[in-house]
């Protein structure tokens, strides 16, 4: 596990909280629209060690109330669980971002009450996962298990899909709606080209087009909303 980035202040990443965001290197997926190419493909350069991060958090107590752990994919590493536990011991609330491919580590996270908020990426419809993750074959059972665990956990959570023109259309939106029907918090996120994509050929939709896709999802997920559009 490598700590490859730190956003020292965010008002957006952790709903209703002043937080910082910790970026861990490495991922099991190769999503073509991923904006953290260096974290995924090369694992990223280590910015700081765990002890240095904890010293930073100790100094920021009272100024920050939450910490977001993201990636890459945080649950790629067993050590993330212990990092989360140490952050919680400092008195912080903790948000976990995950792609859902590691349900056993997610279960441990939940069993140990390490997460106060979970955000899980839904890459596409079930049939669209290979293209959206950059893999030739995807075993979806772990992802489905993570969805189930999160929905039954009692922990505040959201599901979200970054919508890319080359990967997501009305059929994918309808299928996601069927899959996540009844979910309370689901967001369609506007794609933005960071300039550091795995596949630079990706592009987003206009606001008007996103609103049309949202209406398809809302047939099964009435509370679905747009984000970053």
* Structure confidence at residue 41 (pLDDT): 77
CATH H superfamily, domain 3-168: Aldolase class I (3.20.20.70)
Mean pLDDT split into 10-residue runs, the chain, 229 residues: 94 94 95 86 82 97 96 95 98 98 97 97 97 95 98 97 97 98 96 84 95 98 95
Residue-range domain boundaries for the chain: 3-168
* Structure confidence at residue 194 (pLDDT): 80
Residue among 226, 205, 229 at smallest CA distance from 214: 226
Are residues 188 and 219 in contact, defined by beta-carbon separation less than 8 angstroms?
no
Residue among 87, 70, 68 at smallest CA distance from 26: 70
Q: How is residue 116 written in tokens?
A: 């106060």
pTM exceeding 0.85: yes
* Structure confidence at residue 196 (pLDDT): 76
* Structure confidence at residue 43 (pLDDT): 65
* Structure confidence at residue 42 (pLDDT): 67
Distance CA 85, CA 94 (A): 9
3-state secondary structure 67-119: EEEECCCHHHCCHHHHHHHHHHHCCCEEEEEECCCCHHHHHHHHHCCCCCEEE
3-state secondary structure 139-206: CCHHHHHHHHHHHHCCCEEEEEEEECCCCCCHHHHHHHHHHCCCCCCEEEEECCCCCCCCCCCCCCCC
């Amino acid at each position: 596990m490598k700590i490859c980035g730190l956003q020292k202040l965010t008002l957006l990443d952790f709903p209703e909280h002043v937080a910082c965001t910790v970026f861990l290197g490495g991922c099991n997926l190769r999503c073509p629209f991923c904006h953290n190419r260096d974290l995924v493909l090369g694992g990223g350069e280590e910015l700081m060690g765990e002890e240095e991060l904890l010293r930073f958090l100790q100094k920021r107590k009272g100024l920050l109330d939450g910490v977001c752990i993201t990636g890459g994919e945080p649950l790629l590493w067993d050590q993330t669980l212990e990092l989360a536990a140490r952050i919680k011991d400092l008195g912080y609330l903790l948000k976990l971002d995950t792609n859902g491919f590691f349900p056993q580590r997610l279960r441990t996270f939940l069993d140990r009450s390490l997460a106060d908020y979970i955000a899980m990426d839904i890459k596409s419809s079930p049939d669209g996962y290979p293209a959206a993750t950059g893999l030739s074959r995807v075993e979806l059972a772990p992802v489905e298990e993570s969805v189930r665990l999160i929905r039954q956990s009692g922990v505040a959570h959201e599901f979200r899909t970054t919508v890319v023109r080359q990967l997501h259309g009305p059929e994918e939106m309808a299928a996601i709606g069927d899959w996540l029907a009844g979910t309370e918090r689901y967001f369609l996120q506007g794609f933005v080209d960071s300039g550091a994509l795995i596949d630079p050929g990706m592009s987003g939709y206009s606001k008007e087009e996103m609103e049309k896709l949202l209406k398809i999802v809302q047939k099964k997920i009435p509370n679905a909303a747009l984000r970053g559009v």
